[in-house]
Structure 1
Amino acid sequence: MPSVPVTYSNEIRPRMFFRNLTLFRFSAPVAADLERLEEALPEHRLRPVGPLEMSTRGFISPLGRNEEALTHNVSHNTMVTVGGEDKLLPAAVVNDELSRRVQKIAEEEGRKISGRERKRMKDDVMNELLPRAFVRSSRMSAYADKKHGWLVLDTSSRKSAENALTQIREALGSFPAVPLAPEESPRVLMTDWVSSGDLPAGLALGDECELRDPATAAGAIARCRRQDLDTDEIREHLRNGKQVFQLGLIFDDRITFTLGEDLILRKIRFTDVVLDEQGDSHESQAAEMDANFALMALEFDRLLGKLEEWFKLPRPE
């Protein structure tokens, strides 16, 4: 009987490359403490959400479902994945059922419902509906570059990144990673890149940007996509006082991304130059994970080193 190629569903197979980067930094002494992750995480493994719970958070294997290991190490980089289970219980469903019960009491007993009783009834509705609610699973991967002091999270949401960081802190007892503290203003520097056309070596303009008037919160906004940014039209916006808040960039013809003034990297894509280095086949999913994690971390290592240089991002001491 001919063999059948192994395939993985999107639900089971981990995504190979990060699509967004939210970054934190940590010191060398903190990096040494990360060696405890492997032994600390099992007590904080994701458990199924309970019948009367809205959500749970915990660690799952970066290698995918049915794998036991909660960390994955390649060189000086350690990957972890925070998983979640959330009940889907729309407020409209709860409110409709509550309204039905309130109306029934009004019709049968001829009285109004007090605020306190209404709250109790809403809690009862929630408790009855929760066990029957659908559960949505989620996962967010991150890795710690212990050599250079980067915590790299695959998300563009600062809130989601902070929640994942909290999970790591709870597992270790303490993890003093801090947000980036650029000494060079990203907004000012990116505005200068576009207005002057003078970019650092290896960096080129992409085809999108977001320009805003920083004078007021409700200032004019200009968004450009699939457009040449080296034009008089763009420079005219800058001469009129707008600044660059997001900028599409190409790094060494290997990575394309959009950089925000918050230094979050979005829409990350590796070019064919990088993808051609992946190789065609691997003996196992673990071997494929190793190869792609190593390739991704190497590319990000070079890019983050340049971000550190361009924006002067100090590593905590």
Structure 2
Amino acid sequence: MFFRNLTLLRFSPAVAQDLARLDEALADHRLRPCGPMELFTRGFVPPIGREADSPLTHAVKHFTWFTAGGADKLLPAAVVNDELHRRVQKIAEQEGRKVGGRERKRRREDLLNELLPRAFVRDSRLSGYVDTAAGWLVLDTAGRKAAETVLTQLREALGSFPAVPLAPEEGPRVLLTDWLANGTLPAGLALGDVVELRDPGSNAGAIARCRRQDLESEEIKEHLRNGKQVFQLGLVFDGRLSFVLGEDLVVRHLKLLDVVLDELADSAPDAAAELDARFALFSLEVERLLGRMAEWFALPRPKDA
């Protein structure tokens, strides 16, 4: 269940107390199948177990894991447009008349109503967890749109969930560039082998993306001397986690290194126990990383009103 990406939001101690009812709140928002005439449905699914009555949250210490689900009908616009074109052409040939805009629109709606019940359904899952001790919402995505969708689902279920984006007091891009240019990485951090450098002066400026690259090489230094800044930087934390940190403070390509994986028990009695152990190990490792990120970038936790 290890997350590959971390989009982060924060919430206050009062909000953390309210999250004690998270499992109860999600119960009324369980994912249901798409109806015949629905394009999609959204809801929550059990993070562990597939039974209909499985809990919608799984807690280890002060971490509560949940999974947002979606069901989307696959009805590509190109398919609809091609079929509509064939039908309009048939009318023109058989009746000798041109189909106007209003009729075309009506026939398109009729076609959608005809095709929707037969469309394939694609299921999606996006996991996240709340750390009520430190006030973190952690979502397994690097996409802003996906994160906003899950946040909306949580707010609908809870009635209110004032989690807010990170508000760093230290400019992430400036710090990342300084770490790379001057070797001023905080204790416990080491450079990885990935970097994205951009000319900050223009959206159309030069971009250099390097992978499996020695980040202390002369080539990288030359880019920095030419004024490029770091927008993404590969890092290793305490020899236990590797990841790429963006200037948006999204953690991408997160990986637990072998020294951490070796701490997992050799075997678990069942799949649920294995997932529980993995979540416990993962959340504790990420807790340490997020605590240090809060120090490096001065990330304040929201205060109660």
Q: Superposed, which structure 2 residues align to 1:78-93 within 5 Å?
A: 78-93=64-79
Residue equivalent to 1:53: 38
Q: Distance in 2 between matches of 1:308 and 1:53?
A: 43
Among all aligned residue pairs of Structure 1 and Structure 2, give the percentage whose two residues are the same amino acid. 70
Range 283-292 or range 18-27, more displaced: 283-292
Q: Superposed, which structure 2 residues align to 1:249-288 within 5 Å?
A: 249-288=235-274
- Paired residue type of 2:189: L
**Is the counterpart of residue 195 in structure 1 residue 190 in structure 2?**
no
Asked whether the equivalents of residues 59 and 65 of structure 2 are also in contact (C-alpha less than 8 Å), the reply is: yes
After superposition, what is the alpha-carbon deviation per residue over 1:241-300, rounded to whole angstroms, capped at 9, x for unaligned?
110001111001100001111111111111000000111111122221221111001000
The Cα shift of 1:151 comes to: 0.2
Q: 1:168 aligns with which of 154, 165, 187?
A: 154
After superposition, what is the alpha-carbon deviation per residue over 1:176-213, rounded to whole angstroms, capped at 9, x for unaligned?
00000111111110000110012111101100110000
Q: Distance in 2 between matches of 1:53 and 1:68?
A: 25
Residue equivalent to 1:120: 106
- Paired residue type of 2:24: E
Q: Distance in 2 between matches of 1:124 and 1:87?
A: 17
After superposition, what is the alpha-carbon deviation per residue over 1:33-92, rounded to whole angstroms, capped at 9, x for unaligned?
001111111110000011111111101000032251001010011111101101111111
Q: Superposed, which structure 2 residues align to 1:131-280 within 5 Å?
A: 131-280=117-266
Q: Distance in 1 between matches of 2:100 and 2:36?
A: 28
Asked whether the equivalents of residues 40 and 72 of structure 2 are also in contact (C-alpha less than 8 Å), the reply is: yes
Please list every run of at least 4 consecutive aligned residues from structure 1 whose deviation after the TM superposition is greater than 4 angstroms.
none
Q: Distance in 1 between matches of 2:154 and 2:293?
A: 25
Q: How many residues align?
A: 302
After superposition, what is the alpha-carbon deviation per residue over 1:87-140, rounded to whole angstroms, capped at 9, x for unaligned?
111111101100001101111111111111111111111111111111111101
Q: 1:102 aligns with which of 83, 88, 110?
A: 88
- Paired residue type of 2:59: N
Q: 2:56 aligns with which of 49, 59, 70?
A: 70
**Is the counterpart of residue 17 in structure 1 residue 2 in structure 2?**
yes
Q: 2:28 aligns with which of 15, 37, 43?
A: 43
Residue equivalent to 1:28: 13
- Paired residue type of 1:33: D
Q: Distance in 1 between matches of 2:263 and 2:95?
A: 74
Q: Distance in 2 between matches of 1:214 and 1:34?
A: 40
Residue equivalent to 1:306: 292
How large is the Cα RMSD of the aligned pairs? Answer: 0.8
Range 81-90 or range 111-120, more displaced: 111-120
Q: Distance in 2 between matches of 1:148 and 1:138?
A: 29
